[in-house]
Chains A and B, each alone.
Chain A
Amino acid sequence: MLQVAATKHLGAFTLDARFELPTPGVVALFGRSGCGKSTLINVIAGLLDADSGRIALDDVVLLDTGQHVDVAPERRRIGYVFQESRLFPHFDVAGNLRYAARRAGSPRFVGFDLVVDLLDLKLLMKRRAHQLSGGERQRVAIGRALLSQPRLLLLDEPLASLDASRREEVLPYLEILRDQLAIPMVYVSHNFDEVLRLATHLVLMECGSTTAQGGIGEMSLNPGVRAIIGAEAVGAIVEGTVLGTDAASGLTRVGVGGGELKVPAAAAAAGAKLRVQLLARDLIVATREPQHLSVRNILRGVVTAVTGDEGDADLIAIDIGGTIIMARVTRAATRELKLTAGLPVWALVKAVSLRSHFTRVPR
């Protein structure tokens, strides 16, 4: 368990943060630029002194201003991947990695060769930072942070300086770290797609304060999160279990709530956990069982809430058997279909619209 509580005044800005993360897990600090995400992880790293607070990782107290405990950053054993990689320019890649390995604490849970392997750094070892692409630099920075044998890894928008295709060069490696090394991570981002792929938990930050937190599924429905990512990107994140492959279509059958989705996904063994985001704008709501449609995915459920959304639209929350999903419909549709809490409905979603929102569920 990572427990963080901290306050810090910086001019007119006030940080007042409090969150907890079960370990191992990946918590995303999510919020608009300038909301204090980086300030908070600098406090966790110890690079910035908190006015007051307590930070503990499992049974190790790193900061407790009440007890005058303040472990120096160099002894906190917290790895930090910065947005601008911060590789040492006077060392090559191997030198940067060795710099961390030589100063690492014990126990050592990850070896030099393993890190080089996991992050595909073998061919880069002799290069200097200025001879690397942005994505390569971040891979080296991640490897360097890992080789300090950290108890916790902080990542401050590690992909923000990369364009979309370069991001895709780094993201899979972060998934590997999460799945294979089980190292707790705090991931700062204002990109919801990254959060969706990596995080198990989400802490929402607004104006320097942590305003909401919880599991990623629950937080995907949070109004504060919706306000940041915009109506187009809103959608419930649901976890499902692979049931098998649909022989006719080749799509993967995923059990979600009481129903079943067919999604285009890389072959996964039955029983594997998947995470799917159902974008609210892609969901169609029917009040009678639909027939004669090309839509592959029809989930049966009950409306639990109707809330007004921006524009001329409503968000309809639907319980599909223990799992809540959300559909965005026009207000006129709400009126005509008389959508209210308790009404049985069918939610339709096109398989193709699920494509980009498929990811493995972190253990």
Chain B
Amino acid sequence: MTPSLSANESEALYLSLSVAARSLLLSLPFAILLAWVLTRRQFPGRTILDALVHLPLVLPPVVVGYVLLLLFGTRGPIGSWLQRGFGVELIFTRNGAALATAVMSFPLMVRAMRISLENVDRGLEDAARTLGAGALDRFATITLPLMLPGVLAGAITAFSAALGEFGAVITFVSNIPGETRTLPLALYAALQTPGGDHAAARLAVISIALGFAGLLLSEWFARRVRRWLGR
């Protein structure tokens, strides 16, 4: 094995990171909002919303990809609207891959944030309130910073899961080199090619190294945040 990456490998690595980053940017604000709504608000249909958010965890990824295809495909209700209104093309693009990974990793992210939010002392929010802080002010200056460990944990878990998402991506945006062929898809393609065992092994090593680095980074971040919060 040569230590340097081939053009195909670095392309897959770059695509994986790019798709995961886009997926994170897309889902982070929604995840924070939903974590807050599900933890702090009581409203009819809360249980259904909760189930809906968690659905991708229990569905076969292929099903998620298929539903995305129905909704966001060129003739799907949302897909056609996005294309006509904003010229946004999702199918067979990396943005589409990002959407698929975002949906798949969303429950993980929301779950981590909710745990963190449940641990935020509401007394501190009340204290901020008596000091003159309105709702948005309180959220931005007290709630969000205090739930940061969960936001961070959720983001890193979701990012890592996004790097490895396979089923939903391949179903929704197919396996196109240079556009949607992320590491797991490249690995799959290598395995389908006669004599591709060596290439597949190299891609697997890259995936493992990436995952390991992610976990270490996550732990390091978590420690820094905890120290910052004085815990």
- Spell out A's residues near B (CB within 8 Å): 45, 47, 72-80, 82, 84, 86, 88-90, 99-100, 103-105, 128-131, 144-145, 148
A84→B123 contact, CB < 8 A: yes
B131→A144 contact, CB < 8 A: yes
Other A-B pairs, 15, CB within 8 Å; known A72-B134, A80-B130, A105-B132:
A47-B126, A73-B126, A74-B130, A74-B131, A74-B133, A86-B121, A86-B123, A89-B124, A89-B229, A99-B128, A103-B131, A128-B230, A131-B230, A144-B131, A145-B130
From residue A153, how far is it (CB to closest CB) to chain B in Å? Answer: 10
Alpha-carbon distance between A180 and B215 when the two chains are bound, in angstroms: 56
Tell me which of B123, B141, B228, B231 contacts A82 (CB under 8 A).
Answer: B123
- The residues in B between 72 and 131 inclusive whose CB is less than 8 angstroms from any CB of A are 121, 123-124, 126-131
A-side contacts of B229, CB under 8 Å: 89-90
Interface residues on B, range: 20 to 34
B-side contacts of A90, CB under 8 Å: 145-146, 228-230
Cβ of B152 under 8 Å from chain A = no
Q: Which 9 A-B pairs have the closest CB atoms?
A: A103-B132, A86-B127, A80-B130, A128-B230, A100-B131, A89-B230, A130-B230, A148-B131, A73-B129
A103→B145 contact, CB < 8 A: no
A89→B129 contact, CB < 8 A: no
B132→A75 contact, CB < 8 A: yes
B146→A78 contact, CB < 8 A: no
Alpha-carbon distance between A86 and B145 when the two chains are bound, in angstroms: 15
B-side contacts of A144, CB under 8 Å: 131
From residue A129, how far is it (CB to closest CB) to chain B in Å? Answer: 6
From residue A257, how far is it (CB to closest CB) to chain B in Å? Answer: 42
From residue B123, how far is it (CB to closest CB) to chain A in Å? Answer: 5
Tell me which of B129, B146, B228, B230 contacts A47 (CB under 8 A).
Answer: B129
- Spell out B's residues near A (CB within 8 Å): 121, 123-124, 126-134, 137, 141-142, 145-146, 228-231
Alpha-carbon distance between A90 and B149 when the two chains are bound, in angstroms: 12
From residue B107, how far is it (CB to closest CB) to chain A in Å? Answer: 28
B-side contacts of A86, CB under 8 Å: 121, 123-124, 126-127
Alpha-carbon distance between A88 and B125 when the two chains are bound, in angstroms: 9
From residue B149, how far is it (CB to closest CB) to chain A in Å? Answer: 11
Q: Which of A47, A77, A105 has the most CB of B within 10 A?
A: A47
A73→B123 contact, CB < 8 A: no
Nearest CB in chain A to that of B138: its residue: A74
A-side contacts of B142, CB under 8 Å: 88
A-side contacts of B141, CB under 8 Å: 99
Tell me which of A88, A89, A128, A148 contacts B132 (CB under 8 A).
Answer: A148
Query: Given A84-B123, A99-B141, A130-B230, A89–B146 Cβ distance below 8 Å?
Result: yes
Alpha-carbon distance between A89 and B225 when the two chains are bound, in angstroms: 12
Alpha-carbon distance between A74 and B228 when the two chains are bound, in angstroms: 27
A-side contacts of B130, CB under 8 Å: 45, 47, 73-74, 76, 78-80, 145, 148
Nearest CB in chain A to that of B231: its residue: A89
B-side contacts of A128, CB under 8 Å: 230
7 contacts between A and B (CB under 8 A): A45-B130, A86-B123, A86-B127, A90-B228, A99-B131, A103-B132, A103-B133
